[in-house]
Amino acid sequence: MQVNTTQFDVPWCYTSNVSVTRTNADARIILDLHGINYKADVLINDNLVRSHEQVVGTFRRFLVDVTDALPWDQQHGEQSAHAALTLRVYRPQDRSLPPSNKDTDLAISFVDWAPRPPDSPCCFHTLPSGVMVDSLGAAVVSINSNHDHTAHGTHADGDTTTLEGPVCANVSITATVHNMLSTPMRMNVTASVQGNQATLASATRHIGLRKVTSVRDANGYRLFYVNDRKFMVYGGGYSPHLFLRYNTSYQRAMLEKVKQMGLNTIRLEGKMMTAEFFEMTDEMGIMVLPGWCCCDAWQHWSDWKDEQHLIAMESMRSQFRRLRAHASVLGFLYGSDEAPPSHVENEYLRVREDEYWHLPFISSASNVSTPAGGRTGVKMNGPYAWVPPLYWYQGLAHVSSGAAFGFSTEISPGAAPVRLRSAKKMFEANELWPINDVWDFHCGSQLGLFHDLRFFVPPLTARVGAANSIEEFLFKSQLMTYEAERAMFDAYSTFKYRNSTGVVHWMLNNPFPSLIWHLIDFYGDGGGGFFGTRAALLPSTHAVFNPSSGAISVVRNDVVQGSSLLDLHVQIWSTGSELLWNDSVRIGSIGADDALLDVTNIQTHLSHFCAAQPRRTLLIHLLVKNQDNVTEDDQTYWHPCRPDVLDWSNSTFYITYCSQFANFSDLCNIEPAQLDIHLVDAVHVQVTNPRHTIAFFVEFDVIDEESGVSVDGYAFNDNYITLHPGATRTLTLNQAIEGDVKVAYKDLSSSHCTREPTTKM
């Protein structure tokens, strides 16, 4: 559909009728504006109060005194006013593509994540609100936080600061709060202003006490500490809706899925989100790393004039003031792909000092150094397209790679085709198959590198066979993304605090329905990548297979409590469900948030079984049980005897190509699963494999009994699981099963799997 964009070249007016009352004739009525994209005239009854030359900047907060513009009426000892409030909003011009553009409106762009919205968008991304100040002498009080068991603010026995006369000032009041940083917590802090033996103004804020610092470790990598504990960042890049629509229930569900995967951080690149978003992350204990955007006006420093410098610094000031009370904020990136030039950096640093910003303040998401900020200690080396599991381990020898060392601010194995139920929402029936230009539109921006699936389809075809239907293609895609995402998070978690200090997946979600860069799709659904990530970041103990060396390591993801007397069981199976080798290892203990490297190595055994059948696939079953014989981890890796071969001489910032692809053709020959399904209750489903054959990579769903169509709203806590002979697993649904629905499943064999793949692009 073509949209006539010229309709947005003229200002759009938003009008609301407002009513206010006051009992004190000296009270002032302040309009609190934040979230104007990009400029606005403020009018009361069509009379201009503030012009768009003054109200400009997407991320600024404006307090507009509208008292004298209101038509006051005196009745029964109080004054009231009724008026039409109009905001006349002007769109921004802020593009990231093509790269040669010279836009300088410091607004919101979606880089190469999605098509550019036709209105840019011209809107409020946070709703305005009114503030009544009860007296001319009232003050706005800022309460600032510090560290080392000290909080700036007031409490019941706090100090009093006296201001005389009509004065505006930042007030810092220090109160000692004992032993409150052992765990993150939240509390209410109230500040009030007294005058003439009466309370003139008061404000209560729900704040969090926490201490966040960062250092560069012995390798030079940035390492965060939260409340004096090492904090390994597992994150995802978050995007709001392309049209900046906001839905509370959708947002909460999205954050719950972040926790379900085991992620602990969200990165915001130029999308500062609403106050409610930060209230939710505070509540849920999810850290947030906000910062300015790449590629658009925020990085067009050479084209900035006085206006842009003012807007940038006042935007920074506004964000400091709104973010500093939120316990979930980890720091701020004041540059993205590039660091700002020295004169701009120094301006940002002055604002930081003025606003008491004590959290880490980082000049770039790339590995750069600036005169004032020093070395960032982070990297942005890609990839952004599919790479095999070997990449994250073999790449340790390549300093320019995105392999599992350092702190990667944005990185991923690329495309993420959705599950069938989401595809049916994304495409019309005649667009579903074969892959076509409508699919391309639902990749990244058509002006960017990632405008189709050309980096994903050839490896899929070579490794598991060409797809003959959308059902087959999408199911194989879940296999590919599960494998790829698990491998990336496996590697980073295995080497945490030794080689790696953080990893941010690009991206967590998409601003519009997309086939690339997400762990959670636009409709809130999780596919192979979602559950592969969850498998790697289980909150207990996790056994990890290194496909490059054959080593098996054990990772403890619980950040509070360690574990002792663990048994690691290792099995090698054929795709014909023959147990080829079996062993177990006793693990004495593992500390909280720690990893035991190379607990055992099975490379010799893999080589032995591959020598006889070089085209076969081996299934590696890893089982971790604690001293009470309770299973803490149950993982199956698929290992090709014909491996992927990375061509490191053919490597870019977004991909390292393969000179040879793995052969997984016999995965399609695994016997179809035949499972027993028992509903324990309305939300718990027990699945058992009663046969002597492996049930491999089984997807569970809730479907309508009559039509067989997937029912929206249902999701399992785990999916794409492998059940070995006799195994039982209990799955949990997010809501109770009701009506004429049933639990169904399918696997690779039952998805019309093509059995003979090719091995070259």
Residue written as tokens 């070997």? 390
pLDDT at residue 242 in the model: 92
Structural element, H or E, at residue 392: helix 391-394
Q: How far apart are CA 492 and CA 557, in angstroms?
A: 12
Q: Report the alpha-carbon distance of residue 103 to residue 93 in Å, rounded.
A: 6
What helix, strand, coil percent values describe the chain, rounded to 5?
Answer: 20, 35, 45
- The predicted pLDDT at position 758 comes to 34
For residue 192, report the phi and psi dihedrals to the nearest 5 degrees. -135, 155
Provide the β-strand partners of residue 131. 30
- Judge whether 516 and 444 are in contact, CB under 8 Å: yes
625 and 567 Cβ atoms separated by less than 8 Å: yes
**Is the distance from CB of 61 to CB of 32 less than 8 angstroms?**
yes
Architecture of domain 5-208: Sandwich (2.60)
Q: Count the alpha carbons within 13 Å of 360 in the hemisphere toward its beta carbon.
A: 29
699-703: long-range contacts, CB 8 A cutoff, minimum separation 24:
699/475, 699/478, 699/745, 699/746, 699/747, 700/731, 700/743, 700/744, 700/745, 701/421, 701/743, 701/744, 701/745, 701/746, 702/733, 702/737, 702/741, 702/742, 702/743, 702/744, 703/741, 703/742, 703/744
Rounded to 5°, angle at Cα 270 from 267 and 272: 75
Contact 121, 18 (CB under 8 A): no
Give the pLDDT score at 128: 54
* CA separation for the pair 161, 107 (Å, rounded): 39
Q: Which residues of the chain have pLDDT under 50?
A: 134-157, 166-167, 755-761
125-131-136-141 Cα dihedral, nearest 10 degrees: -70
The CATH fold of domain 669-751: Immunoglobulin-like (2.60.40)
The pLDDT tens digits of the residues spanning 367-390 come to 999 999 999 999 999 999 999 999
How many Å apart are CA 306 and CA 343, to the nearest integer?
A: 13
Measured at the alpha carbon of residue 424, what is the angle toward residues 418 and 427, in degrees to the nearest 5? 95
Give the DSSP letter string of 41-72: EEEETTEEEE-TTTSB-TT-EEEEE-GGGS-E
d(C-alpha 36, C-alpha 62), whole Å: 10
**One CATH from 3.20.20.70, 3.40.50.970, 2.170.190.11, 2.60.40.10 for 541-642:** 2.60.40.10
CA distance between the termini of the chain: 34
Pairing status of strand 332-333 against strand 361-362: parallel
Domain ranges of the chain: 5-208, 541-642, 669-751
| Side chain identity, residue 15 | T
- Do 541-642 and 669-751 fold alike per CATH? yes
The pLDDT score that the predictor gives to residue 130 is 56
Residues 461-482 have pLDDT tens digits of 999 999 999 999 999 999 999 9
